[in-house]
Amino acid sequence: MTHAGYIAAGWSISAALLVSYAVMILLRGRRLSGRVPARRRRWMTTED
Amino acid sequence: MREVLLVAAKDLRIELRSRVLLFQVAPFAVATLVLLGFALDADRSALRNFSPGLFWVAVLLTALLAAQRSVAVEHAGRAADALLLSATSPARIFAGKALALAAQLAVLEALLGVAMVVLYDARVEHFGLAVASAAAATVGIAAAGTLYGVLAAPMGVRETLLPVLLLPVFAPVLIGATRAFGDALGTAAVNGWAWFGLLGLFALVYAVFGALAYGPLLEAEA
Amino acid sequence: MESAVWLRDAVCCRGRFPALAGVDLDVAEGEILLLRGPNGAGKTTLLRLLAGLATLDGGRGTVLGCDLGSDRRALRPQVGLLGHDLMLYEDLTVVENLRFFAALAGASDAESRAALERLEVAPRLADVPLRRLSAGQRKRVAAASLAVRRPRLWLLDEPHAGLDESGRGAVNRLVRDAAGRGATVVLASHEAPAAAEVATRTVHLVGGIVAGRSPDSPAAPASSSPAAAPPPIEQVSDA
Amino acid sequence: MSILLGRPPGDRPPSAAPGHTGSRATRILGVATLVGLVGLCLCAFIFSPPDSRPGPEPGSRIGQFDAVRLMYVHFPAAIWTYSALGLCALASGVYLWRRGVWWDRLAHASAEIGVLLCAVTLLTGMIWGRPIWNTWWEWGDVRVVTTLVLFLTYAGYLALRSVPAAPEARARRSAILGVGGAVLIPIVNRSVEWWENRTLHQQSTLEELRIEDLTLFTLVLGIAVMGVFFLWILIHRFRLAWLEAEVESAGLEAALAERRAEAGEVAATGAGAGGTGEGGSAP
């Protein structure tokens, strides 16, 4: 495979950025959820 | 129109009284040109070739200061509230302040132009093109500066926030004005009048956008 | 009589702080209302709210027939506010300041000169930049710039502070004149004797509400948590 | 629209609410992202061929070779950058028109994700450009320069949002800036295009590569996967913005109660001293 180093760098930098952002968002969501009363978090009632 | 001129005249009179433009902004502008000369190792031909770009970089940095000053005038002593309480429409206040800012920038540009000719050995070949494109660029800078100035105004971080918001907006002006001046000063073989058109478009777009957006912005401050 | 100011459970925040925590207030046209209360009671915020300069974050209110929620732009030109900040330009002279605001309000130069005379600003000060005047002199100039605009509702925040005896007299004459011509005046003042001299009624403001109302039973239960947006469910389900 | 907030609670007991921003919709999207990602990796690294075609001289080969595999990230990221920032501008415009907090939060969420994707676009573009154009940064390319200005513009938008301010004032200012960005970008694009009127970029990536069917399929798959990911993270980010606003307004209600209590105290203790008589005790 040509340019293997560039490809690895490109994909891994992208993955690292996106994954770390997603993790940050999810964790902050969990933390703040605890501070908001359940009735103001209507998306939580997920089951039919 | 009367109100536009009233606001503009008021801003200019404040500048005449306080002399901030003369004693603080103008020396800053010239000092910028001098430093840029040092950066290019005072190479005569390089300086002449790059003089359009250096000139406009200096103008834009100066415009940041002038825009900040134009907002600061309204916020000292909460005079902005008095303008809000007058029956004047926000679009007219915007036009007046942008007009005053444009007039101040024009003076600074004239000064910088002389400095450019002297320091960088630039030669103006098409005077009409240079003046026309500078005028169009100035209106655009003044409109954008007035709008973004009030956008960043009431926060405690105006000095740092305004450049962050405003410099990307200046990108097309810098490109356009540099090219147009390149033609006018004979350092680039391009069609300067086409660039003048682009500068005019920018000025028009930001004048209209600013006039529309100024009202909601003043409201947000209140 | 027509009501100039009508507030019900008005909430108004300065940043995150609820400076007004549910104010009920009625002021009739032609009244001269004195607001009293300790520092931090919300007097200044109330005046800014009535001027249409602060947003109504909860409750309802109408001033001079304009709704505070939706119609502040129509309200503002009819209101004159004399605040702690002068709302004038420090670098301009007395006359230039006055002429500028008079011109915006459509008043003539002669009127601005007359206003200066009524506030007993010495003619020799006319061409002095505001920056060089004393606190009391500036206050007189600010009051004059208010008078020039001939507002229907005068909102005066500590109009007597920093003024000498003659200055207080001049301000009081101005207030009485305005009320005599049918304007409504709301003034906040700690200078009890001077203010009580002109006031037709006094209201006490404490902790962001009008004293005398029980703080435990908000007047309008339906909108008693006014700072919050309506519950999200209703807001989105019809979108 | 209601997908962002989920369905109304109905008669379910509120205590059943779990402490996170997930819901059935996000779980479906999340799983779809992961499955799609596996498929994309297979297509991008194993099934799809390198870009290679006969060169002008007999026997030689030209093309991007395996570097084309970077395109499967770069191109989808670019597409969704423009979509996200376009959505931000759109939501900002609607906010100015209709004034709903919903739009403000949507603008915030999409701007943040857009800036992130823009960073990914720029970085992968630079990494791709190094072997193919032989430079990290190519000034002569319109899209490269425009995208950088776009990045700076909306980074400024996020900077403005990060400054503490009253929620409504902040929403209004941000909305104007969001719309302003959309006004600016076409002008920047035009000016940069004239500035260097030759362009290095693939006129259209899809045309220039003599596209094998599988390469095209992988690009489209990449766009789809990135799109599902975008939707998934957008929903989470939007709900987070919602929670942040709720926490803020809950603080406000507490402050309001405190303020009223303060009024009660003063009224109780100071009933005599405060005086109800006109012109009573001086302060």
Q: CB of B86 within 8 Å of any CB in chain C?
A: yes
Q: Which two tokens stand for residue D195?
A: 């500035």
What mean pLDDT is predicted for residues A2-12? 89
Report the mean per-residue pLDDT for chain C: 82
Do the Cβ atoms of C87 and B78 come within 8 Å? yes
Model confidence, pTM: 0.85
Determine the Cα–Cα distance for residues D165 and D180; give it in Å rounded to an integer. 20
Q: Are strands C153-157 and C184-188 parallel, antiparallel or unpaired?
A: parallel
Can you say whether residue C54 is alpha, beta or left, with left for phi > 0 and alpha for psi between -120 and 50 degrees? beta
SS3 of residue C201 by DSSP: strand
> Which residues from chain C sit within 8 angstroms of residue B88, using beta carbons?
104
Q: Is residue C191 predicted with pLDDT exceeding 80?
A: no
Count structural domains, chain C. 1
Residue C224's pLDDT is what? 36
Low-confidence ranges of chain D (pLDDT < 70): 1-18, 196-212, 266-283
Low-confidence ranges of chain B (pLDDT < 70): 220-222
Residue D267's pLDDT is what? 59
Give partners of D (≥3 CB pairs < 8 A).
Answer: A, B, C
The count of CB pairs under 8 A between chains C and D is: 102
CB-based contacts of C157, cutoff 8 Å, min separation 6: C43, C44, C47, C81, C82, C83, C84, C187, C188
Q: Is residue A17 predicted with pLDDT exceeding 50?
A: yes
Determine the Cα–Cα distance for residues C234 and D194; give it in Å rounded to an integer. 51
What mean pLDDT is predicted for residues C166-183? 88
Using CA coordinates, name the residue in chain A closest to C233.
A42
Cβ–Cβ < 8 Å for A48, D10 = no
Query: Which pairs with CB-CB distance under 8 Å and at least 24 residues apart come from C167-171?
Result: C167/C119, C167/C120, C167/C136, C167/C139, C167/C140, C168/C194, C170/C118, C170/C119, C170/C120, C170/C140, C170/C143, C171/C119, C171/C143
Cβ–Cβ < 8 Å for C82, C159 = yes
Contact call for A and B: 3+ CB–CB distances under 8 Å:
no
Query: Which pairs with CB-CB distance under 8 Å and at least 24 residues apart come from D128-134?
Result: D128/A6, D128/A10, D128/D67, D128/D70, D128/D71, D128/D74, D130/A6, D131/A3, D131/A6, D131/D67, D132/D64, D132/D67, D133/D200
Looking at this predicted complex, what is its ipTM? 0.84
Q: Is residue A48 predicted with pLDDT exceeding 50?
A: no
CATH of the domain at C33: 3.40.50.300
Residue D211's pLDDT is what? 60
Best CA proximity match to C209, nearest among C54, C59, C70: C59
> Which residues from chain D sit within 8 angstroms of residue C21, using beta carbons?
256, 259-260, 263
* Residue A14 backbone phi and psi in degrees, to 5: -60, -50
Q: What is the pLDDT of residues C100-132, one digit of tens each?
A: 999 988 888 888 888 888 888 888 888 899 989
Where is pLDDT greater, at A43 or D223? D223
Given pLDDT bands bounded at 50, 70 and 90, which one contains residue C211? confident
Do the Cβ atoms of A38 and D15 come within 8 Å? yes
Burial annotation C159-195 (CB, 10 A radius, 16+ → b, else e): bbeebeeebbebbbebbeebbeeebbbbbbbbbbebb
Report the DSSP beta bridge partners of residue C6. Answer: C26, C62
Select the residue from D252, D265, D281 to test the C interface by mutation, using most C Cβ atoms within 10 A.
D252
Whole-number Cα distances in Å, B73 to B160, C87, D250: 18, 11, 37
Q: What is the pLDDT of residues D160-199, one digit of tens each?
A: 999 888 888 889 999 999 999 888 888 887 777 777 664 4
Residue B115's pLDDT is what? 93
Q: Is residue C143 predicted with pLDDT exceeding 80?
A: yes
Contact call for D and C: 3+ CB–CB distances under 8 Å:
yes
Domain range for C137: 3-237
